[in-house]
Amino acid sequence: MAREDYEIVIGLEVHAELSTKTKIFCSCPTEFGAEPNTHVCPVCMAMPGTLPVLNEKVVEYAVKAGLATNCEISRDSKNDRKNYFYPDLPKSYQISQFDKPLCEHGKVEIEEDGEKKTIGITRIHIEEDAGKLNHNEFGAGSLVDLNRAGVPLIEIVSEPDMRSSKDAENYLRKMKSILEYIEVSDCKMQEGSLRADVNVSVRKKGETKFGTRTEMKNMNSFKSIVRAIDYEAERQIDVIEDGGTITQETLRWDDVSGKTFPMRDKEDAQDYRYFPEPDLVAIRLSDEYIENIKNNLPELPESRRQRYVEEYKLSEKDSKMLTASKYLSNLFEEALKICGNAKAVCNWLLSDVSRILNEKEMEPDQIPFTAPELAKMIELIDKGTISSAIGKKVLEELFENPKDPEEIVKEKGWVQISDEGAIKEVVTKILENNPQSIADYKAGKDRALGFLVGQAMKETKGKANPQMLNKMFLEELNK
């Protein structure tokens, strides 16, 4: 049977760390990157006798996420314990939600080549993150750091509605964008604050039953998710084509070899022994509470996109690209506020900035410069202080070593030459050195003008004002 005869079925469990100031069950800070075991207290270290108290913002953020993904919000919810032993889980149980999650039955829309598709959201629940094991490559053991233990998470479980790695990527990008917009998670994948467990199965087209699925845990880059799904689907098809069967198991994706491997220690069948967390009490949400959150939800990408088309006369396509990332979109709005040139800001972001991001394999939230810096650069071009060619160089510099573009231009000596005397000097020199071009021009070859301007730019290392050069050459040539 050919590969095209198979259909890939994908479901995602997205884990997003919430951007609350404190942990879910204690008042420790959640900031990333602190010295090991400094953001800890008796509660998140699971000292004997300690008790959890739920952070109100965690409930609020989860409800926000639920409303932004069209979920029903549970009026009556609770926390449960999920029991298992692992050194990054200090209580040996994770406080999560089992049968009464905060949000259920939602959906989001994704789009590929103009074709829209709805992905169902099974549920969104709140839970605590685990600590971190640092693996010393040379040392004898591993080291446990509990700074992350107790950082709040929402787990967003999708229906198995995706049919390609592209679908999965689009869905995850969409989810990331929504969570960024409603400001419940900073979604920094490189820091692990957004990660996904990916469930993959394959079946013959037309088959209504799902195949046996495998799960790849803790994936935190779009690229590896796409690669992993493609690889795993291929692998499963190969197994089936060879007459084998798929085992339901948890796999580890290895980015270096580009392969999946069964997780070790699988001889222990898991049995999480969920039961209601007796140290916490019921969560009962009133209609007013939910209504209030709904009314205060920030603008979502769709409506922002519409606004860009109407207010700033941007194209549908550009608006969509800008609003895909809240970070990019915010950068756009802030820079626009300063320099007032929507078209220019949009073009810079979508062409040169995006190109550099691509080259560097960075996400928009990793852009190192600020909106005022970008705006300043555009202003410098608009005022004629620098040319767009120099603008590109300034942008490269902003990525490397962000600071005030005016200073960059001054330091590098990139200020555009707009002094008439100086331009005249250059023009005279170039004309003297290129009599043939003058003759060509007079003979009606317009291209010669371009050549002369180019020579002049070369002579000034790109700093001459191109409009003035053009004008002055024409004046001289037409004398």
Residues forming contacts to other proteins in the complex (CB under 8 A) are 20-22, 27-29, 35-38, 40-42, 45-57, 59, 78, 81, 83, 85, 87, 90-93, 133-136, 139-146, 252, 263-265, 268, 271, 273-276, 278-284
* DSSP per residue, 207-265: --SPPP-EEEEEE--HHHHHHHHHHHHHHHHHHHHTT--PPP-EEEEETTTTEEEEPS-
Q: How far is the CB of 22 from other proteins (least distance, A)?
A: 5
Smaller CB separation from other proteins, 245 or 296: 296
CA-based angle 231:235:237, to the nearest 5?
120
Q: How far is the CB of 226 from other proteins (least distance, A)?
A: 23
Nearest-angstrom CA–CA distance, 91 and 44:
8
**Residue 406 tokens, joined:** 């005016």
State CA 46 to chain mean position distance. Answer: 33
Q: How far is the CB of 129 from other proteins (least distance, A)?
A: 16
Residue showing tokens 């003759």:
439
Q: How far is the CB of 81 from other proteins (least distance, A)?
A: 6
Smaller CB separation from other proteins, 179 or 456: 179
Smaller CB separation from other proteins, 37 or 221: 37
Smaller CB separation from other proteins, 140 or 256: 140
Query: In sequence order, which residues have a C-beta less than 8 Å from that of residue 114 and are 6 or more positions away?
Result: none
Q: Decide: helix, strand or coil at residue 349.
A: helix
Smaller CB separation from other proteins, 48 or 413: 48
Q: How far is the CB of 215 from other proteins (least distance, A)?
A: 14
Nearest-angstrom CA–CA distance, 172 and 194:
10
Q: Please, are residues 320 and 308 in contact by the beta-carbon 8 Å criterion? A: no
Smaller CB separation from other proteins, 61 or 441: 61
Q: How far is the CB of 268 from other proteins (least distance, A)?
A: 7
Smaller CB separation from other proteins, 82 or 376: 82
Q: How far is the CB of 86 from other proteins (least distance, A)?
A: 9
Nearest-angstrom CA–CA distance, 426 and 406:
25
Smaller CB separation from other proteins, 2 or 140: 140
* 259-262: strand order across its sheet: 72-73, 103-112, 115-128, 152-158, 6-17, 194-204, 214-219, 250-254, 259-262
Query: In sequence order, which residues have a C-beta less than 8 Å from that of residue 76 and are 6 or more positions away?
Result: 100, 282, 283, 284
Q: How far is the CB of 135 from other proteins (least distance, A)?
A: 7
Find the DSSP H helices in 349-443. Answer: 354-360, 371-382, 388-400, 405-412, 420-433, 435-442
